[in-house]
Amino acid sequence: MPDLSWLIERPIAHRGLHDLNRTVWENTLAAFSEAIRHGYAIECDVQLSADGVPVVFHDSSLKRLTGRDGDVADLTARELAGLSIGGTGERIPSLGDMLALVRGRVPLVIELKGTPGRDGQLVAEVVRRLAAYRGHAAIMSFDHHLIRDMARHAGAIPFGLTAEGQDEAALERHFSMLAHDISFVSYNVRDLPNGFVHFVRGRLSIPVITWTVRDEEAAAVTFAYADQMTFEGFLPPLHRDPGGFHG
């Protein structure tokens, strides 16, 4: 098991340190710069452009963030880089753009977003870029086929499962991913506690981070049942008081 103390040592800014898309928008270089300025780790989302370049963007559709119809997977990286995010001067960055900005100054947690039938090279392309990156970085996904690809291609790069749910069927699906030697778990804070998280932390010593924490009450749940939080909408302390949060 790799040393992932860096993964849980500081709060993780969800899609960068944005202000809920008022002036600093999610998954932009501006949001990542703000996270670096405050010393937070960064979570971001990555998917493939039409020409196979990993780009930093959450939704499959362009509409919510750019106002344009269509999907990310239908445009090239160059075309995507020309689109404004939220009417600002920020553009859709490539993973390479983001890595060049961060330069190892804070840890990265990169969620890979699958596009059915078009993501066969996503893991390989992300791993190829991270192989030359000097800094702490991990990858994760909800998509089980991408987890299986990570097990084949990630090498020394830590990879984890993004998950949610409390029902028996969901937990069984999560347990099945343990066969692929995942290094950590990112779990929906609203679904804590549960038997899967209890098992991986208690029996396997696998670290668990949560998503998405938006207030002190959810932060308190995180530190009762997990190791660190992915947050947005407020500024948590970099180092947690041993007494914890009081929601």
DSSP states of 3-26: --HHHHSS-EEETSS--SSSSS-T
* Tokens 């692929």 sit on residue: 180
pLDDT at 242 over 80: no
* 218 lies in some domain: yes
- Beta carbons within 10 angstroms of residue 44's beta carbon: 25
Question: By residue range, what is the domain housing residue 49?
Answer: 5-231
Domain count, the chain: 1
Rounded mean pLDDT, 164-175: 98
* Tokens 């270089």 sit on residue: 29
pLDDT at 247 over 80: no
Name the β-bridge partners of 140.
111, 160
* Number of residues written out for the chain: 247
Cis omega before residue 193 (within 30°)? Answer: yes
The CATH number covering residue 90 comes to 3.20.20.190
* 154 lies in some domain: yes
Nearest alpha-carbon partner for 234 in 6, 45, 86, 20? 20
The alpha helices in 72-167, defined as continuous H runs, are: 77-81, 95-102, 122-131, 144-153
* Tokens 């009762």 sit on residue: 224
* 200 lies in some domain: yes
* 18 lies in some domain: yes
pLDDT at 226 over 70: yes
As a whole number of angstroms, the distance between CA 203 and CA 39 comes to 31
Q: What is the DSSP letter of 214?
A: -
**Residue 70: Cβ-neighbour burial (10 angstroms; 0-12, 13-18, 19+):** middle
* 183 lies in some domain: yes
Give residue 196's identity as a one-letter amino acid code: F
Contacts of 212 (CB under 8 A, 6+ apart): 14, 189, 230, 231, 232
Rounded mean pLDDT, 23-32: 98
* 107 lies in some domain: yes
* 238 lies in some domain: no
Q: 178: pLDDT confidence band, cut at 50, 70 and 90?
A: very high
- Long-range CB contacts (< 8 A, 24+ apart) of 76-79? 76/49, 76/50, 76/51, 77/49, 77/51, 77/53, 79/49, 79/50
* Tokens 């699958």 sit on residue: 114
> What tokens does 17 get?
């340190």
Helix, strand, or coil here: 123?
helix
Task: Kindly report, residue by residue over 122-142, the tens digit of the pLDDT.
Answer: 999 999 999 999 999 999 999
**Residue 59: Cβ-neighbour burial (10 angstroms; 0-12, 13-18, 19+):** middle
* 240 lies in some domain: no
Q: 245: pLDDT confidence band, cut at 50, 70 and 90?
A: very low
Rounded mean pLDDT, 9-27: 98
Q: 244: pLDDT confidence band, cut at 50, 70 and 90?
A: very low
Output the pLDDT for position 113: 98
